[in-house]
Amino acid sequence: MLKGKNVVIGVCGGIAAYKVVEVVSRLRKLSANVFVVMTEHGTKFVTPLTFQSISHNPVYTDMFAVPDEWDIEHISLANRADIVLIAPATANVIGKIANGIADDMLTTTLLATKAPVVLAPAMNYNMYDNDIVQENISKLKNSGFYILEPEVGKMAEGSEGKGRLPEPSKIVDALTEILNQKKNMKDLNVLITAGPTKEAIDPVRFISNNSSGKMGYSIAGAAAKRGANVVLVSGPVDLTAPFGLKVIDVISADEMYDEVLKNYAIADVIIMSAAVADYKSSEIKQSKMKKNDENILVELVKNKDIAAEIGKIKDHRIHVGFAAETDDLIRNAKSKLEEKNFDMIAANDLTLDGAGFGCDTNIIKLINKNGGIIDLPLMTKDRAADIILDEVLKLMATKDDNK
C-alpha cells in the first residue's frame, strides 16, 4: 500500500523526535519515498543528517535555501505528498497550524498541501490537557486533519500521563489505513446534485435561492479522491469543479431532473445536496415584462420532485438527501426522509451561524432510516463531506449484509 507513495514527515522540537527515525526506517522498508522537513527546534533533538541517512533524501529545514532545481521547495513538497505526518506535533506547531500561521518550511508546506495531514501530538500531559491546545486540536479535527491520539505512559520528566507519541509501528499502521481509506470508493458510481436551480420568468428575471453549491462540490471532490466515478449535476454556481470528475451544468429543475435520470441507471449512490426550486413560472415570457402595472401576477407551478421520483425506482441504490430547515429540524427532515425514500438525510439548521447556505462550514445532523442520528458540530463542508461518505459506506455494507 505504501510502495512508491510520497510521505512527507514534519519533525518538530520534542523529545519524541528520536522515535520518528524508526518511523522513517519502517516506511523505507515498505518502499515509500520519505521526505523529512524539520523545524528549527526539531534539529535540536535529532540532527538532519540522521534523517537524511535513513530517508536517503535531503532534509528540508530552511525556507530560503537555494533550490537545486528550479522548483519552489515547499510548494513542490506540498504537491508531491500523498500524505503528510507531523510527529511529534508540539503545542507550538499545533497552535500555528490552527491559526493559519506559516513562518517556516514545515508550516508553509502544510498550508499548501492538498494531501491528508496526520498530526501525532506529543508533549507533557498538562500541556496536552490545556484548554487552548485542546481547542486548537478540535479546530484542526474539524478542518479535516487526522489526529493520532497520544498514549498514556511515563513522560520524559518521570511522571505519568497522556502525552506520549504512539509507537512507530502504530504510526505506520495509521498512515497505511488513511491512505487505504482514501480509495475506499474505488469504482463506485456516485451521482451528486449541487447548487440552486434558476427558474426563468422572462429573459432577465428568475426565481432561485442562495445555494452556493459548496456542500455538493465538497462531497463530489471527496468522492472523486476516494476513487469513485463521480457525475456532478450542478445548478448555476460560481465554483471551480474539483479534479477528476464529470460535471453536467444545468440551469432549471427540469434540466436537473433530465440529467439525473439520464445518469441514474449505473449509479450506486445518489447524493442530492441541490436546493431545487420547488416552483417555476407556468410560462416563460419571450420578452422582458414591462413595469406598467402596480401589481403583477406570476402563476407558479410545482417543479418535479427529482428525489421523490427516483425514490420510487431506487432498487439497490443508496439515496442521501439534504434538508435545510428554519423550524422543526428533525421532524421536517424525518418526513422528507420517508416521503422521498432516502436512506439518510443531512439536516442543516438554517438558524445557526456557520450552517447551510453560502458558508464554507456546516452544522448537520445525519438521520438514517432506522432513526439513528449523528449530531455533527460546526466543521468545514469538506470535513462534513468526508463524514457523509463514511456513513454512505456503512449503509452500503449493511445493505450487503441483509441481502
Residue with cell 450487503: 400
Q: Rounded CA gap, 74 and 82, in Å?
A: 14
Quickly list H helices, 182-317.
Answer: 214-225, 253-262, 306-311
DSSP letter assigned to residue 139? H
Peptide bond into 88 cis (omega under 30): yes
Q: How far is the CB of 302 from ligand PMT (least distance, A)?
A: 8
Q: Site for ligand PMT (CB under 6 A): which residue of 81, 84, 272, 363? A: 272
Q: How far is the CB of 253 from ligand PMT (least distance, A)?
A: 5
Q: How far is the CB of 366 from ligand PMT (least distance, A)?
A: 12
By CB under 6 A, the residues from 304 to 333 that bind ligand PMT are 305-307, 321-324
Which are the contacts of 309, defined by CB distance < 8 A and separation ≥ 6?
257, 261
Q: How far is the CB of 316 from ligand PMT (least distance, A)?
A: 20
Q: Site for ligand PMT (CB under 6 A): which residue of 73, 356, 379, 380? A: 356
Q: Site for ligand PMT (CB under 6 A): which residue of 61, 189, 212, 380? A: 212
- Residue 264 as a binder of ligand PMT (CB under 6 A): the answer is no
**For ligand PMT, how many residues bind (rule: CB under 6 A)?**
28
22 close to 45: Cβ distance less than 8 angstroms? no
Instruction: Report the length, in residues, of the chain.
Output: 403
Is 209 marked active-site? Answer: yes
Q: How far is the CB of 9 from ligand PMT (least distance, A)?
A: 34
Q: Site for ligand PMT (CB under 6 A): which residue of 226, 280, 340, 383? A: 340
- Residue 392 as a binder of ligand PMT (CB under 6 A): the answer is no
Decide whether 171 or 333 has the Cβ nearer to ligand PMT. Answer: 333
Exactly one of 57, 92, 142, 209 is catalytic; which is it? Answer: 209
Mark 132-169 as b/e (b = at least 16 C-beta within 10 Å).
ebeebbebbebbbbbbbebeeeebeeeeebebbbbebe
- Residue 357 as a binder of ligand PMT (CB under 6 A): the answer is yes
102 close to 110: Cβ distance less than 8 angstroms? yes
Distance of CA 386 to the CA centre of its chain: 5
Q: How many CB atoms lie within 10 A of CB 93?
A: 26
Which are the contacts of 318, defined by CB distance < 8 A and separation ≥ 6?
268, 269, 270, 343, 344, 392, 395, 396, 399
Identity of the amino acid at 77: L
Segment near ligand PMT (CB under 6 A); pick from 95-103, 282-290, 300-308, 390-398:
300-308
- Residue 337 as a binder of ligand PMT (CB under 6 A): the answer is no
What is the distance between the terminal CA atoms of the chain, rounded to a whole angstrom? 31
Mark 94-113 as b/e (b = at least 16 C-beta within 10 Å).
bbbbbeeebebbbbbbbebb
Decide whether 26 or 336 has the Cβ nearer to ligand PMT. Answer: 336
The binding track of 238-257 with respect to ligand PMT, each residue x by CB under 6 A or -, is ---------------x----
Residue with cell 406598467: 292
By CB under 6 A, the residues from 160 to 199 that bind ligand PMT are 193, 195
Segment near ligand PMT (CB under 6 A); pick from 46-54, 166-174, 275-283, 291-299:
275-283
- Residue 336 as a binder of ligand PMT (CB under 6 A): the answer is yes
Residues of the shown chain interacting with ligand PMT in the complex, contacts defined by CB under 6 A: 193, 195, 211-215, 253, 272-276, 278, 303, 305-307, 321-324, 336, 340, 348, 356-358
Active site residues: 209
